[in-house]
Amino acid sequence: MSNPPPRTASQATDPLTDHEYDGIREFDNPTPGWWYWMFGTSVVFSALYLVFFHFSVAGWTVEDSWSNDQRAEFVRVFGSVGQLKADDQSILQQIDNPQFMTIAKAAFIGNCSACHGKDGGGLVGVNLCDESFKNIKHVSDIFKVITDGANAGAMPAWKRTFSDNERVILAAYVASLRGTTPAVAKAAEGEPIPAWPKPAAK
Ligand code: HEC
């Protein structure tokens, strides 16, 4: 099928607009339908994009995918540290390891924040930033609660999800949240407990 020859102004049936600039007149043609479709589609797309990639809680933000990638990388290098111990001092010492705290933070945001809040302030789960705890007296109890859960599964057990080393550094990360100020703090539950011991010199 060949295209019809272009119309000349004299053949035009469309109405002219009433303005004229330097002898140039303009047909009053409506904007084509396909243009409106493209415009509408990009408006809808941008709204969805904004929600998913800037306000997402499902780990779809640029920041979250960066920390997930970083976590995968650090997990790869985990091999070199051997088995970390789960006693109070060994756990507290991990707080000084910025690499491990980055891994633990990513794991916390990906797995724990739905219940404890991104910064540990507490939602369904308890506030981990305050001085009161329900199941914790010692730093090592954090490791135990993460491993086996608490309150008949209200706090799930994570021993199948995370390796021993990952649970040690998660415990260290949770210990480091104590005394920080979350954006929204859930009311304290349990009993106030003594401060963590000072980390022993290495
Ligand atoms: C399904 C919701 C949920 C998820 C997910 C969750 N928790 Fe919990 N967590 C809870 C609840 C509820 C409690 C309080 C249990 C109780 O009442 O004894 C709790 C308690 C705890 C405690 C003990 C606090 C205390 O005062 O005794 C720690 C530590 C903890 N969670 C860490 C974590 C970590 C780390 C993760 C992620 C690996 C995590 N939680 C994921 C719901 C959750």
Write the pLDDT tens digit of every residue in 71-93. Answer: 777 777 776 778 899 999 999 99
Cβ–ligand 1 contact at 157 (below 6 Å) = no
Cβ–ligand 1 contact at 84 (below 6 Å) = no
Which residues form the domain of 102? 62-192
Which among 196, 86, 82 has a CA at the least distance from the CA of 138?
A: 196
Q: Helix (H) and strand (E) counts for the chain?
A: 7, 4
Same-domain check for residues 32 and 98: no
Q: What is the DSSP letter of 11?
A: G
Cβ–ligand 1 contact at 116 (below 6 Å) = yes
| pLDDT the model gives residue 28 | 86
How is residue 139 written in tokens?
């730093």
Same-domain check for residues 179 and 97: yes
| pLDDT the model gives residue 145 | 98
Number of domains within the chain? 2
Distance between Cα 180 and ligand 1 center (Å)? 17
Count the Cβ atoms, other than its own, within 10 Å of residue 138: 15
Same-domain check for residues 30 and 104: no
- Which residues make beta-bridge pairs with 16? 27
Count the Cβ atoms, other than its own, within 10 Å of residue 16: 12
Using 50, 70 and 90 to split pLDDT, how confident is the model at 59? low
What is the sign of the dihedral through the CA atoms of 73, 59, 179 and 145?
Answer: negative
Residue 57 has pLDDT above 70, yes or no: no
Q: What's the average model confidence in pLDDT over 158-184?
A: 95
Cβ–ligand 1 contact at 86 (below 6 Å) = no
Cβ–ligand 1 contact at 149 (below 6 Å) = no
Distance between Cα 164 and ligand 1 center (Å)? 17
This prediction's pTM: 0.72
Are 185 and 130 spatial neighbours (Cβ–Cβ below 8 Å)?
yes
Angle at the Cα of 118 (from 112 to 123), degrees rounded to 5?
Answer: 70
Burial class of residue 129, CB neighbours in 10 A (0-12, 13-18, 19+): buried
Take atom 34 of ligand 1 and give the residue whose Cα is closest. 112
SS3 52: helix
Average pLDDT, the chain: 88
Same-domain check for residues 166 and 100: yes
Lowest mean pLDDT among 6-10, 58-62, 128-132: 6-10
Same-domain check for residues 186 and 114: yes
Most confident of 16-25, 57-66, 95-104, 120-129: 120-129
Cβ–ligand 1 contact at 174 (below 6 Å) = yes
Report the share of the chain in percent with pLDDT over 90. 62
Residue 12 has pLDDT above 70, yes or no: no
Distance between Cα 153 and ligand 1 center (Å)? 9
Count the Cβ atoms, other than its own, within 10 Å of residue 120: 24
Report the share of the chain in percent with pLDDT over 70. 90
Same-domain check for residues 53 and 68: no
Same-domain check for residues 1 and 80: no
Distance between Cα 121 and ligand 1 center (Å)? 12
Same-domain check for residues 43 and 129: no
| pLDDT the model gives residue 115 | 96
Q: Which atom of ligand 1 is nearest to the CA of 154?
A: 12
Q: What's the average model confidence in pLDDT over 25-49?
A: 93
| pLDDT the model gives residue 11 | 57
Domain presence at residue 108: yes
Cβ–ligand 1 contact at 112 (below 6 Å) = yes
